[in-house]
Amino acid sequence: MKDMRTTQDVDAALGQDTAILFKHSTRCPISAAARGEMERFMELHPDAPVYTVDVNDDAEASQYLAEKTGIEHHSPQVIVARGGQPEWHANHFDIRAGDLEQRVGMG
């Protein structure tokens, strides 16, 4: 997982062919559950293009990501983007490793 801390980091992630964007809070138990799902996904797919942003510590990058994708901010949230365009997203307890695998064609 690569951290997105700045708007430039967000632009770089969205510039990839495929980007899995994970917004989370280190202070939220729901985010902790979602992070567990993301870690399960990463164990199975260590080379997956996963980018993370902490919505508290890097609020500007988090808000910028919402603006760039047009997807209303939630935390936790995962967004799959292809060619810079959002293709799928899930929030809160809907973030599951198996669903993410299917959405990115890895399952």
Ordered by start, the domain boundaries in the chain are 2-91
* pTM, full prediction: 0.94
Residue 87 CB coordination number (10 Å): 13
Compute the average pLDDT of residues 1-21.
Answer: 96
Residue 39 CB coordination number (10 Å): 12
pLDDT of residue 107: 61
Write phi, then psi, for 35 (nearest 5 degrees): -65, -40
Strand 77-82 relative to strand 85-91, pairing: antiparallel
Asked whether the beta carbons of 33 and 42 are under 8 A apart, the reply is: no
pLDDT digits (tens, 9 = 90+) for 71-105: 999 999 999 999 999 999 999 999 999 999 999 88
Is 3.30.465.10 the CATH number for 2-91? no
